[in-house]
Amino acid sequence: MTTAEIRTAYLDFFVKNGHKVIPRARIVPDNDPTTLFTGSGMQPLMPYLLGEKHPAGTRVTDTQTVFRADDIDEIGDNRHTTFFEMLGNWSFGDYFKKEQIPWFWEFLTEIVKLDPKKLYVTCYSGDEKLEIPKDTESAEIWKKLFEAKGIEVQEADMKTEVEGYKIGMKDGQRIFYYRDKNWWSRVGEPDNMPAGEPGGPDTEVFFDTGAEHNKNYGEHCHPNCDCGRWIEVGNSVFMQYIKNDKGGFDELPNKNVDFGGGLERIASASIGGHDMFKIDLLWPIIEKLQEMSGKKYEDHVEAKRIIADHLRAAVFMAGDGVTPSNKTQGYILRRLLRRAIRQGHELGIEDGLFRVVAPMVMDMYREPFPEVAKDEKIVISVLEKEEKLFRQTLRKGLREFEKIIKKGLDGKTIFTLFDTYGFPPELSVEEAKKRSIGVPENWQKDYEAELEKQRERSRTAAAGMFKGGLAEHSKQTIKYHTATHLMYKALRLVLGDHVEQRGSNITSERLRFDFNHPQKMTDEEIKKVENIVNEQIDKDLTVTWKEMPTKEGLATGARGHFGEKYGDTVKVYIMGPEDNPYTMELCGGPHVEHTGILGEDGKHFKIIKEESSAAGIRRIKAVLG
């Protein structure tokens, strides 16, 4: 099956089993300062897992594009990517283990037709101290499914990865119990959970590629080994418990299911699982890189994998309104692009990397996610501009190298050449040796120390304070969210109806808003926008919302957000009288109840900066002060 066929089959399968398909959330969450990127399929749905009613009902399914910056430095192996699609299905207080586990088994073995003999599962081993039982319920369901296929089933209680590496696997073992690896909550392990926090066991499915175990990862192999033999293809989380104020756990009256399965990994397993980059969402990019460089994949595996992964992620980020910068999402995008350019440089690709590959990525996703290619020319322009700038930096790096190398090299200097000018460390050392210039034996130790500092900056930037996808809903942030809507309408009134939102980032200190406009705003235009917003604050407009069918909502004239797809039902927020509103927008909320709240304590809306964000894109920062 192609990835497109697997994607469609998955959604069709769960629709057949009573689910409603919901659209993907943007890879850059709107109005959520707690996280930079959508990092899981669960993240946009967390409010509903915690009890809020979903407009689509109690059973939903989707395919969600996600990005995980923590994996940047792992790219290059056979199974990791920073960007991927997460197939998901959820039960909000509806079905539970006895439905979920057989459904996923049926999808894998009957529809995708994976060999069940190559599938292994893990379950939660329990916690005696906290009186959380071992998840034998899930294990019993799995046991019956395996036995129905004529497969012998034995269990192994490993509890930790360390134990797994010590004792290894024995013939016939299919179900493996782990403790920390098979528990889910927003804050990690049960001991870390505060009172009132929900969580529960999960059960994961692994595909055995049959690759030889690498003992660098441990003496013996087991399903949670990182040696490359195993591919995790799906994880069913059973939100079953809530922590009580005595430190123990009670059963939740309404239990939820949160399933996530990597589309790319399932597709990879369907062709043997030895190299995920051979699937049809990645291999065409690899082939194009071979053509552009004249170098075979087998001779430059890591470089080509990095480029293919990073450019997919970059296209989706830019399509969702991110532009390269030195802060927040822009910092991560810039890092991805520069890593791709560096690898391209090593392959001998000196120009046109993004111009050639970016349209290929858009074409691959044009059918399932048409919004990504909506502004194709703008996206390519953003990427090409960064490529041009960084290639100039690389050339400058070569000149700087000639200056610096005369003074000798150490690990810190080698990192500076790499981080600032894109000069690969191996090349620095190689060039130094050619010139008979000494390099300290421990240069790698100092280099790694500097690299770790940079990784920590990336982790901090990417992770933010995210512990499960809930936006930071402080009163001040809600005020800025409401002010953003007021300003958006004001911009259209002052600059014209061509203005479309291209992204936003809202914190408790300020709002940031990106929009398309061909030139810098004049001082007069900025003042007009400020005046209009402050007029609406002074009018103390009521803020109300309605839930209605999407077509009906759009027919009212309510505006949607750039890059957003909507399900069958939406929330429409109305500011002002319903028969003559100031603005109507499709939005999930939250907002203040009336606009006068924004002017409390004599506060006024003020634009503090208006600047270019990318070609044809302007950025406003504003405060209530």
Of 58-62, 305-309, 421-425, 458-462, least confident by mean pLDDT is 458-462
Q: Could you tell me the pLDDT band of residue 356, with boundaries at 50, 70 and 90?
A: very high
Query: What are the boundaries of each domain within the chain?
Result: 3-277, 282-406, 408-467, 475-624
Is 470's pLDDT higher than 50?
no
Burial class (CB in 10 A: 0-12, 13-18, 19+), 611: exposed
Which pLDDT does position 461 carry in this prediction? 52
Is 153's pLDDT higher than 50?
yes
Question: Does 421 or 334 have the greater pLDDT score?
Answer: 334
Which pLDDT does position 459 carry in this prediction? 60
Q: Could you tell me the pLDDT band of residue 466, with boundaries at 50, 70 and 90?
A: very low
CA distance 405 to 428: 9
Question: Does 408 or 192 have the greater pLDDT score?
Answer: 192
Q: Could you tell me the pLDDT band of residue 21, with boundaries at 50, 70 and 90?
A: very high
Q: Could you tell me the pLDDT band of residue 3, with boundaries at 50, 70 and 90?
A: very high
CA distance 340 to 346: 10
The answer to whether the beta carbons of residues 325 and 303 sit under 8 Å apart is no
Residue 311, Cβ neighbours under 10 Å: how many? Answer: 25
Which pLDDT does position 262 carry in this prediction? 96
What average pLDDT score do residues 219-236 get? 94
Which pLDDT does position 522 carry in this prediction? 95
The CATH class for the domain spanning 3-277 reads alpha beta
Burial class (CB in 10 A: 0-12, 13-18, 19+), 442: exposed
Give yes or no on whether 3-277 and 475-624 have one common fold: no
Q: Could you tell me the pLDDT band of residue 620, with boundaries at 50, 70 and 90?
A: very high
Q: Could you tell me the pLDDT band of residue 434, with boundaries at 50, 70 and 90?
A: confident
Beta pairing class for 543-549 and 511-516: unpaired
What average pLDDT score do residues 416-439 get? 77
Question: Does 124 or 565 have the greater pLDDT score?
Answer: 124
| Strands of the sheet with 617-624, listed across from one edge | 501-506, 511-516, 617-624, 605-614
Torsion sign over Cα 317, 319, 321, 326: positive
Which pLDDT does position 468 carry in this prediction? 28
Q: Could you tell me the pLDDT band of residue 471, with boundaries at 50, 70 and 90?
A: very low
The answer to whether the beta carbons of residues 372 and 8 sit under 8 Å apart is no
The answer to whether the beta carbons of residues 38 and 329 sit under 8 Å apart is no
Model confidence pLDDT, tens digit, residues 240-291 = 999 999 999 999 888 999 999 999 999 999 999 999 999 999 999 999 999 9
Is 34's pLDDT higher than 70?
no
Question: Does 613 or 329 have the greater pLDDT score?
Answer: 329
**Maximum mean pLDDT: which of 170-184, 331-345, 444-458, 608-622:** 170-184
CA distance 143 to 266: 22
Model confidence pLDDT, tens digit, residues 484-520 = 999 999 999 999 999 988 878 888 889 999 898 989 9
DSSP 20-73: EE-PPPPSS-TT-TT-SS--SSSGGGHHHHTTPPPTT-SEEEEEEEEE-GGGGG
Mean model confidence pLDDT for the chain: 89
Model confidence pLDDT, tens digit, residues 51-103 = 888 989 999 999 999 999 877 877 888 888 999 999 999 999 999 999 999 99
Model confidence pLDDT, tens digit, residues 234-254 = 999 999 999 999 999 999 888
Model confidence pLDDT, tens digit, residues 518-568 = 899 999 999 999 999 999 999 999 999 888 888 887 777 787 765 556 677
Q: Could you tell me the pLDDT band of residue 31, with boundaries at 50, 70 and 90?
A: low
Beta pairing class for 154-159 and 583-586: unpaired
Beta pairing class for 583-586 and 569-575: antiparallel
Of 140-144, 166-170, 321-325, 552-556, least confident by mean pLDDT is 552-556
The CATH class for the domain spanning 475-624 reads alpha beta
Phi and psi at residue 349, to the nearest 5°: -85, 105
pTM of the shown model:
0.75
Which residues does residue 544 pair with via DSSP β-bridges, in sequence order?
Answer: 574
What average pLDDT score do residues 112-130 get? 96
